[in-house]
Every structure is written in structure tokens, then in C-alpha cells.
């Protein structure tokens, strides 16, 4: 089996560097003039890492998407095409912007947004596509970007679960018009809560930062500077527009910067865990436990290792219970499809909404979601992953012999 590096302070999720940076913020008394601004350093390194001109730090990866959609001028009367197999924030952000989420189906093998289904859902009101790199796998970006260019649609990538994923040699987070990341505690890199938007468009970046920063006139695509003279002037017009306060706190930025500096290691550890779990699945992978299909030229970033249970005589609960009884860590289910969540079901969110959110909207997603078994990949020591892999093997064998 593949060896993970031995457990050390650096391999703990939060290590010495995170502590050091947090203490530096505290020692600065929150005066950015007293030291370097961690938010600025985080944004600069993030933009560089994700091959984008601009990166804007946020409080979380939901506010990011709200701000990006609003900055693109998307609002009431508009429609945004989203996948249903994702965390509800993808659609919540569309509603926060005042627009209507329209659900398109997923591909049966990659479980990402299907370009063919997107094309079918386009109406004269469609303004954007919001594809999700679900579990760390990029969707068919060529297909989606082609539709977007033909129909003049804005593309916002939801890459909350995809860090350092690649699509045909390009970094995920650099292909759409803007991309959103989350630093929530389960993600590849974390600051407890946090998020980031990347884009190459200066005008869009400026608009996003205004929304992020209470509409301050002084902020631009980069951070912006203001003189004491100006800020003390009683006639100074601070607010160019009405904005939100979605700024990432410095303490979170300190943790996020330390995490970003070791992101390749954090991602690699998840990839190794996924590989070890995949080896344990072995032949069952082609028979009755199907992993997410990874198209040629795409690099998965393994936020989670997910299998689709393809045996009608075994329920999701049967598998979960047997794995757990054998000492398995616990298996997560995929979120319910967003439109079947109580918050959405049969809801009417826009005056022009012609179809209610109900069963039957996305038949492929409806057959895939109930059978997904999500395994953790954020292990910090090799023994633990290997013991989980052995338990998984044992669970599979017990079903194969029955
Ligand atoms: C696919 C996806 N989109 C959006 C989010 C929202 O991010 P946040 O929790 O930072 O608001 C998450 C996770 O939390 C997610 O997994």
C-alpha cells in the first residue's frame, strides 16, 4: 500500500504555523499598520496558486457566490442553472441574489452537471450557470463553457470541495468567469469558516469587493488604500454602493494562509487516502460499488471518496450498518437533492416560476443520490486509513459471500 508521511505536528490539520500566524495577528492588536495584513497575503498567494488575477477573501463560501452573482448583475427575474446534487448553499446563493435556481440533471457516471441537461433548461431568463466540482471532481467545463458562450451566460464555478483539481491542464477555479471556494471546517484547507472568490475580470473583481466590503468607494479589485486625510474629511463619501459585510476576519486569514502554504500536502494526503480506500474496493468497483468516474484529463482532488451502491438486494443502511459494526468510521450519505429539501419542496420563489420543485425534475440525480456512500479522506495517519480500508474490504467480502 502507498505510504503516507509519518504523523508529525505538520501533518496535524492545524499545526505550528497556524498558531504562529494567529499569534502574530493578536500581537498586532488588530492594527494592520502594525504588521503585515494576513488577508492581503492570503489573497495574493491564493490568486497565484489558482492561476487567477484576483482573489477576494470572504466569511464563507455561500456569501462568495451571492456576491459574485450580484456583482454580475444577476437578480430578480433572472434564472441560474444549478445541479441538484450539491450542498444547498449553491442554490441558496442564487435565492440570496433574488434570482431563481433552475435545476438541471447530472451525468450518471461523474455525478456532475450535465451540459445536455443544462441546454434543455435554458430560457430567455437564463443568465448564469453555476456548476459544482462535486466531491472534488471538475464538471465538463468545455461543454458548459461552450453553452455559456453561445447563450451569453455568466459562469460561476462552485469549487468549495475542489482544491488544486485540474481540468485538461488548467487549474479548477480559473476557467469560469468567477470561482468560489469554501474554507469551512470539512474542506481541504480550513479557517473554521471562510471563503474565496477568484476571477480574471477587473471590473467584476471590483464589484465583488464592493459587495463584500459595505460598498466602500475606496476598495478596488485589489484591496485599495485610503489616506488618513480623506477618511477624516467630514464630507468624504465612503459608500459608493450598498454592500454587505462579508469580509474575512484577520484571525481566519492567518489560519487560512498557513493552510494555503501547505495546501499541496493537504490535498495529497486526501488523494492517498482515496487511493488506499480504492485499492480495498478492488474488483467490487466494477461489479456493484461504482466510484465516481474520472474523465480523461481531469485530476480529482478527493474532498471525499464516494461509491455508488449498485445492488438492489443491499440498502444504503445495510451497507452503512455493517461497515460501522465492523469498526468503520461512519459513512455519510449524499445530501438530499436540493429541490427535495423541505425548504424548497413545492416552494414558489419567483413570480415567473412555472414549475414547482418536486420529484421527477432530475431523474438521473434522483436515482444516483440515495445510493451514494461518502467516505472520509482527511486522515492524518496511515494506520487509520489502512485500518478503515481493511474494514471496508471485510464489509465488501461479507456481502459478496451472502
Ligand atoms: C458544494 C458546496 N458549495 C457551497 C458550500 C458552502 O460553503 P460555506 O459552508 O463556506 O458557506 C459548501 C460547503 O460548505 C459546499 O460543499
Q: Are 399 and 307 in contact (CB under 8 A)?
A: no
Boundary-marking domain end, from 232, 262, 292? 262
pTM (two decimals): 0.96
Q: How far is the CA of 108 from the centre of ligand 1 (A)?
A: 22
Paired residues of 100 in beta bridges: 79
On whether both 13 and 130 belong to a single domain, the answer is yes
CA distances from 281 to 164, 290, 328 (A): 25, 9, 14
User: What's the domain range around 291?
Assistant: 264-400
In a domain, 217, yes or no: yes
Q: How far is the CA of 397 from the centre of ligand 1 (A)?
A: 35
Query: Given the C-alpha cell 467584476, which residue does it identify?
Result: 204
Residues forming the active site: 187
- What does each of the 402 residues of the chain score in pLDDT, given as a tens digit? 556 665 555 678 899 999 999 999 999 998 866 555 999 999 999 999 999 999 999 999 999 999 999 999 999 999 999 999 999 999 999 999 999 999 999 999 999 999 999 999 999 999 999 999 999 999 999 999 999 999 999 999 999 999 999 999 999 999 999 999 999 999 999 999 999 999 999 999 999 999 999 999 999 998 777 888 898 999 999 999 999 999 999 999 999 999 999 999 999 999 999 999 999 999 877 789 999 999 999 999 999 999 999 999 999 999 999 999 999 997 999 999 999 999 998 788 999 998 889 999 999 999 999 999 999 999 988 899 999 999 999 999 999 987
CB-based burial label for 370 (10 Å; 0-12, 13-18, 19+): middle
Ligand 1 atom index nearest CA of 60: 10
How many beta carbons lie within 10 A of that of residue 3, not counting itself?
8
For residue 213, give the CATH number of its domain: 3.40.640.10
In a domain, 329, yes or no: yes
Q: Are 112 and 161 in contact (CB under 8 A)?
A: no
Q: How far is the CA of 209 from the centre of ligand 1 (A)?
A: 20
On whether both 15 and 44 belong to a single domain, the answer is yes
On whether both 143 and 282 belong to a single domain, the answer is no
For residue 283, give the CATH number of its domain: 3.90.1150.10
On whether both 97 and 191 belong to a single domain, the answer is yes
On whether both 50 and 102 belong to a single domain, the answer is yes
Pairing mode, if any, of strands 166-167 and 298-299? Answer: antiparallel
On whether both 269 and 284 belong to a single domain, the answer is yes
Ligand 1 atom index nearest CA of 303: 16
Residues with CB under 6 A from ligand 1: 60-62, 86-87, 89-90, 132, 158, 160-161, 182, 184, 195
Q: How far is the CA of 231 from the centre of ligand 1 (A)?
A: 36
Structural domain total, the chain: 2
In a domain, 242, yes or no: yes
In a domain, 167, yes or no: yes
Ligand 1 atom index nearest CA of 132: 1
Name which residue sits closest to atom 7 of ligand 1, judged by CA.
61
To test the ligand 1 pocket, which listed residue (160, 163, 172, 212) has its Cβ within 8 A of the most ligand atoms? 160
Amino acid at each position: 500500500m502507498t505510504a503516507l508521511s509519518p504523523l508529525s505536528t505538520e501533518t496535524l490539520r492545524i499545526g505550528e504555523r497556524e498558531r504562529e500566524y494567529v499569534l502574530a495577528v493578536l500581537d498586532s492588536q488588530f492594527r494592520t499598520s502594525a504588521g503585515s495584513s494576513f488577508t492581503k497575503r492570503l489573497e495574493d498567494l491564493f490568486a497565484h496558486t489558482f492561476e487567477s488575477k484576483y482573489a477576494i477573501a470572504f466569511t464563507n463560501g455561500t456569501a462568495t457566490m451571492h456576491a459574485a452573482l450580484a456583482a454580475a448583475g444577476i437578480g430578480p427575474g433572472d434564472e441560474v442553472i444549478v445541479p441538484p446534487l450539491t450542498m444547498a448553499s449553491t442554490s441558496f446563493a442564487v435565492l440570496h441574489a433574488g434570482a431563481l435556481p433552475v435545476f438541471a440533471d447530472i451525468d450518471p457516471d461523474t455525478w456532475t452537471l450535465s451540459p445536455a441537461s443544462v441546454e434543455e433548461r435554458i430560457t430567455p431568463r437564463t443568465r448564469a450557470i453555476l456548476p459544482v466540482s462535486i466531491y472534488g471532481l471538475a464538471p465538463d467545463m468545455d461543454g458548459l463553457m461552450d453553452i455559456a458562450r453561445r447563450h451569453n451566460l455568466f459562469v460561476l464555478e462552485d469549487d468549495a470541495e475542489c482544491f488544486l483539481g485540474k481540468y485538461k491542464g488548467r487549474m479548477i477555479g480559473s476557467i469560469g468567469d468567477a470561482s468560489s471556494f469554501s474554507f469551512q471546517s470539512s474542506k481541504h484547507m480550513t479557517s473554521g469558516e471562510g471563503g474565496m472568490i477568484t476571477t480574471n475580470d477587473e471590473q467584476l473583481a471590483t464589484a465583488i469587493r464592493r459587495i463584500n466590503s459595505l460598498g466602500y468607494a475606496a476598495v478596488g479589485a485589489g484591496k485599495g488604500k485610503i489616506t488618513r486625510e480623506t477618511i477624516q474629511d467630514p464630507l468624504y463619501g465612503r459608500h459608493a454602493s450598498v454592500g454587505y459585510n462579508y469580509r474575512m476576519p484577520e484571525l481566519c486569514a492567518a489560519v487560512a494562509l498557513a493552510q494555503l502554504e501547505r495546501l499541496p500536502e493537504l490535498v495529497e494526503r486526501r488523494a492517498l487516502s482515496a487511493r488506499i480506500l480504492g485499492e480495498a474496493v478492488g474488483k467490487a468497483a466494477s461489479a456493484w460499488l461504482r466510484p465516481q468516474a474520472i474523465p480523461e484529463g481531469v485530476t480529482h482532488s478527493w474532498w471525499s471518496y464516494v461509491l455508488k451502491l449498485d445492488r438492489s438486494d443491499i440498502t444504503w443502511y445495510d451497507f452503512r450498518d455493517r461497515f460501522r459494526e465492523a469498526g468503520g468510521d461512519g459513512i455519510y450519505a449524499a445530501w438530499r437533492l436540493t429541490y427535495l429539501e423541505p425548504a424548497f419542496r413545492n416552494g414558489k420563489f419567483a413570480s415567473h416560476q412555472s414549475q414547482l420543485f418536486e420529484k421527477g425534475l432530475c431523474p438521473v440525480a434522483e436515482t444516483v443520490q440515495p445510493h451514494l456512500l461518502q467516505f472520509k479522506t482527511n486522515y492524518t495517519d496511515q494506520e487509520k486509513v489502512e485500518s478503515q480500508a481493511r474494514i471496508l474490504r471485510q464489509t465488501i467480502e461479507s456481502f459478496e459471500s451472502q
